[in-house]
Every structure is written in structure tokens, then in C-alpha cells.
Amino acid sequence: MSTAVAWCADPYADALRNGHGPLFLRRTDGWLLPLEVERWCAAADAADLSALRRCTGAVLDIGCGPGRLVAALTALGHHALGIDISEAAVAHTRRLGGTALRRSVFDSVPDEGSWGTALLIDGNIGIGGDPAALLARTARLLVPGGLLIAETAPVDVDERVHVRVDDGRGRDAAGETFPWARLGTPALLRHARPTGWRPADQWTVGGRSFVALRRRRDVRSNRHSADPANSTAVTSSQRPRNTPAGRPVADS
């Protein structure tokens, strides 16, 4: 099972269609990372808006999930596009009136090198399990000086794990695992500097932590730089985001 299949199949698709969990990322040691499906399927909250109000230019929401951020950005007057590998997530975003495409961030993305802001919310800094590769790819999607807003774990963690999507009832017990990552703010900043970013802002709202990074102007943009080897990397809304990006795993 590829990572794309994991996010497109039940129980993830069922949870988005129903608007609620339970849903988890299950680590190989059996611990569970809760996914906040109810929050993802609700309207953007105060913490979300604290990030969205910092956006400039056209906004790319990487791992848009059910589309609350794309819908809110549209209401704020931004041109916004969500991308996600889950068909259910893309369909939900479109029902909210947002624009979304089904694809990985490592595939070709419209208007590469022209986006003003990119979002990695709800734990989506974990996509693909390789933060440096994800940060380098995201830098190539933005204009010089473009903004990345990422949600981080509210604890100092720098973790690479293998997980699978699980509803807590064992329905996906045989599902293959895929790579994921969890980063706190210090870890994100360590990975950001060598991959073309400089810190711009840090803040916390409602127990959720965010970092804004600016793309360095000397980073080359290649509109055809998608990495085919990574084209199946996870781009679902697990931010998340989090899973909530920083919630400690709970013993199953």
C-alpha cells in the first residue's frame, strides 16, 4: 500500500465524509497520534485565522484536508488553492466553495515559483517523513521572498516515525506503514536554514504553535523540480496538523 492509498482509503475518507473520528496515526510500536477530524471539518478557528491573516499574495495550502483554510482564505479575498492526495478531502474542499486539486506536493503544482504563501498546517510539516526535502520543495514553489507558515509541535521534538491511518477499531490493522515526522519549533528552524529559509515570526494561539519563514531570494526556483521519487509522499491534512502537531502520542 502506498502512502497515497493509505490516505485515500477508509478509514480516513470515511472520517472526512462523516465529519468526525475517531482517527489516529498508529506508530509501529502501537502508540496512537490522535487526528482532530472534527476541528478540520469545522470553520477556521482563532488559531487558524492568526496564520491566515499573515498570508500575502496567492496562497497554496499543502495537505488542505477538508478545506476549511482554503474556504477562509477565499472569504478573506485571497486567491487560494488546496492540494491533497485524498479524493474525499478535495471533494469536501470544493463543496465549501474552495479550489482544490488531488495531487502530492512532490508532483507538478500549478504556477510553481509564483505562490506568495504556502501553508503546512495541522501537522503537515510531517509529510513524507523528511522535513528537509519538504522544506526544499516548498521553497521552489514560492516567489523569491515568499512566506511559509507552518504549524509545529508545542514541545521540542524532532521525530521520524512510520505510521498508518487507523480508526482505533482495527479496521486497517493490515495496512502498510508510511513515513511521517513531528517537529517542534527549534527543530523546524534547524531544518529551515539549510533549505533556503530565514525565520520571520513565531507565535502561539490556543495551545497551537506556528512559525513563519521567508524564502531566501538567492534560492533558485525550478518550475519542473518535482521529485518523481517522492511523488507518493503524504500530503493529507494531518496537521495534521496535526494531528495536532504537538500532541504527545497516547498509548493504545
- The three cell numbers locating residue 246: 504537538
| DSSP 8-state secondary structure symbol assigned to residue 153 | B
Type of residue found at 104: S
Task: Check whether 48 has a pLDDT greater than 90.
Answer: yes
Residue 251 domain-assigned (yes or no)? no
Element counts in the chain: helices (H) and strands (E): 8, 11
Residue 249 domain-assigned (yes or no)? no
- The three cell numbers locating residue 72: 477562509
Residue 192 domain-assigned (yes or no)? yes
Comparing CA positions, the residue from 127, 111, 107, 131 lying closest to residue 196 is 131
| DSSP 8-state secondary structure symbol assigned to residue 90 | H
Domain count of the fold of the chain = 1
Over residues 145-182, the pLDDT tens digits come to 999 999 999 999 999 999 999 988 765 555 678 999 99
Residue 189 domain-assigned (yes or no)? yes
Over residues 205-244, the pLDDT tens digits come to 999 999 999 998 875 544 433 333 333 333 333 333 333 3
- 211: domain range? 3-230
For the chain, the residue count is 252
Residue 99 domain-assigned (yes or no)? yes
What CATH number corresponds to the domain at position 62?
3.40.50.150
Residue 138 domain-assigned (yes or no)? yes
Task: Check whether 246 has a pLDDT greater than 90.
Answer: no
- The three cell numbers locating residue 89: 478531502
Task: Check whether 47 has a pLDDT greater than 80.
Answer: yes
Residue 134 domain-assigned (yes or no)? yes
Q: Residue 163: its pLDDT value, please?
A: 93
Residues of the chain with pLDDT > 90, as a percent, come to 71
Q: Are 126 and 67 in contact (CB under 8 A)?
A: no
Question: Most distant CA pair in the chain: distance in Å?
Answer: 49
> How do 59-62 and 24-27 pair as beta strands?
unpaired
Residue 12 domain-assigned (yes or no)? yes
